[in-house]
Amino acid sequence: MSVVEFAQVSHAFGEREVLRDITLRLAEHRIGIVGANGSGKSTLARMINGLVTPDVGRVTVDGLDVGRRGREVRRRVGFVFTNPDNQIVMPTVREDVAFTLRGRGLSAAEISTRTDAALDRFGLAGHAEHPSHRLSGGQKQLLALAAVLVAEPAIVVADEPTTLLDARNGRRIGALLAGLPQQVIVVTHQLELLPAFDRVIVIDEGRVAADATPAVALAAYDALLA
Amino acid sequence: MIGLYLPGRSVVHRTPTLLKLLLLAVGVSLLAFMRGPVAVAVASTLLAALFALARVPLGVAWRQVAPVLWLLIVAVPLQALFAGWPEAGLMAARLIIAVALAALFTLTTTVSSVLAACEALLRPWGRFVDADRVGLLIALVIRCVPLVTDIVKEVAEARRARGQERSLVALAVPVVVRSLYAADAIGEALTARGFDD
């Protein structure tokens, strides 16, 4: 498994401090991050992909500083957003999955093979030539996931990937993420997904409020919400 | 381009995109020299043959040409007024055939192929133009049309729900704000997908 390290990380958006002195070492297979809205958990997740660089402290992925070597880090870390509409770029499903592989020095045949395999894996083969913006919400999130995983990243970070989905699709996407062989870091409000995880981190007002096994961390989160 | 592509394996589909683009340019240019009803008949027959070869259903073909007819309702009488009915008819035929030819291109060519063709065309000017960046730009423009359409639909619905059907501000402000947020989010997603330089 890869190792993500936060070393005394703090960050503010203007006057608002969103992360305060976070130090974490993430090396488990499946890690959940929970917290109230505005607690800083999404900022924490974005830092792993280098989408946000910390004001203070350092974030590294397998020893690579996300601020200085963002491009290399992003090749290792795939990111799934809450709203798949913002992630879809190309007009058809196949083209969008293949788009991820642009500029990676792969032959057209290899891009086609890997794209077909990803579409098959996520049950999108039958929609390959369909307009991506006409898919259902669940299918769009599957497409976003396929477009991330076709590049075979070592780590998958998902920021509330089930928030916009119905319960059935939410469970489906959650199960898919939990079953990935890669290291998976999921920010979620869907707590029923987390008991199968190896570790759960609770973020509250920019700090780590709990960091333990799912049972212990979720009990702490419950107490925090009470 | 936005969801117009009709999957298929016909000769027209399989023709290399650059060749199709060249043939489209030549075909549309030749239309300027088309004179008389015989030439129109020959061009129309050729066009119908190409649509048949590409196995484009009649309904789909009609939907590509139908919007032009609205334009012709105004343009043909105007042209007839200044140049006579035969010339107006010829202008209408030229326009319909040109639009149908362009539609045939978009129906049988994926956006990725068009982007690859654009990039191939721009590559010799690589010192002055970043072909990959232009390709990405075109892809994003195409992607943003349905995205903004959806935003406008949702905002218009919300405006109706709040009883503000006639308020232009209630439509324009949220559409602009949401479009800017969407642009920001797409930029972030592109960065996450490794297109950050």
pLDDT tens, A7-30? 999 999 988 999 999 999 999 999
How high is the pLDDT of residue B134? 83
Q: What's the pTM?
A: 0.75
Q: Is the pLDDT of residue A139 over 50?
A: yes
Which pLDDT tens digit goes with each residue over A85-100?
878 888 889 988 998 8
- In terms of residue numbers, what domain contains B41? 11-110
Q: Say yes or no to pLDDT of A69 above 80.
A: yes
Task: Give domain status of residue B28, yes or no.
Answer: yes
Given B53, B81, B110, the domain boundary residue is B110
User: Is B23 among the domain residues?
Assistant: yes
- The arithmetic mean of pLDDT across residues A149-173, rounded, is 88
**A20 and B CB contact within 8 Å:** no
Q: Which of B13, B123, B188, B196 to probe by mutation at the A interface, max A CB count within 10 Å? A: B188
Q: Identify whether residues B171 and B80 lie together within a single domain.
A: no
Q: Are residues B106 and B16 in the same domain?
A: yes
B141/A contact by beta carbon, under 8 A: no
Q: Given CB atoms, is B171 within the 8 Å cutoff of chain A?
A: no
* B35 within some domain: yes
B102/B145 same-domain check: no
Nearest CB partner across the interface for A95, out of B110, B191, B194: B110
From chain A, the residues in CB contact with B1 under 8 A are: 91
B1 inside domain:
no
Which region, left, alpha or beta, applies to residue A22 given φ > 0 means left and ψ of -120 to 50 means alpha? beta
Q: What is the pLDDT of residues A45-54, one digit of tens each?
A: 999 998 899 9
Q: Which has the higher per-residue pLDDT, A111 or A103? A: A111
Average of pLDDT values for B171-189?
88
Cβ-based neighbours of B22, under 8 Å, separated by 6 or more: none
Query: Using CB atoms, which residue from A86, A89, A147 is nearest to B139?
Result: A89
- Domain check: are B104 and B138 in the same one? no
| Nearest-Cα residue of chain B relative to residue A148 | B193
Point out the domain boundary residue: B78, B110, B142.
Answer: B110
**pLDDT higher than threshold 90 for residue B24:** yes
What's the order of all strands across the beta sheet hosting A183-187? A77-80, A155-159, A183-187, A30-35, A199-204, A207-212
* Whether residue A166 has pLDDT greater than 60: yes
Number of CB pairs < 8 Å for A and B? 86
If you ran DSSP here, which 8-state letter would residue B109 be given?
S
Domain A4-225 classification at class level: alpha beta
The pLDDT of residue B197? 60
Give the pLDDT confidence score for residue B153 in this predicted structure: 86
Interface ipTM above 0.90:
no
Domain boundaries, chain A: 4-225
Does any CB of chain A come closer than 8 Å to the CB of residue B185?
A: yes
Distance from CA of B71 to the nearest CA of A (A): 28
Mean pLDDT, range B128-133, rounded to an integer: 81
The total domain count for chain B is: 2
Contact partners, residue A42, CB within 8 Å, separation at least 6? A159, A160, A187
Q: How many helices (H) and strands (E) does chain A have?
A: 7, 10
CB pair distance less than 8 Å for A88 and B143: yes
Summarised one tens digit per residue, pLDDT across range B65-108 is 888 888 899 999 999 998 899 999 999 999 999 999 999 998 89
**Same domain flag for B69 and B132:** no
Residue B40 maps to a domain: yes
Q: Is A133 on the interface with B (CB under 8 A)?
A: yes
Q: Is the pLDDT of residue B138 over 70?
A: yes
Contact A153, A76 (CB under 8 A): yes
pLDDT at B1: 47
Q: Is residue B3 part of a domain?
A: no
- A202-213 confidence digits (pLDDT tens): 999 999 999 999
Q: Which of A35-44, A199-208, B43-52, B139-148 has the lowest mean pLDDT?
A: B139-148
Per residue in A145-157, pLDDT (tens digit) is 999 999 999 999 9
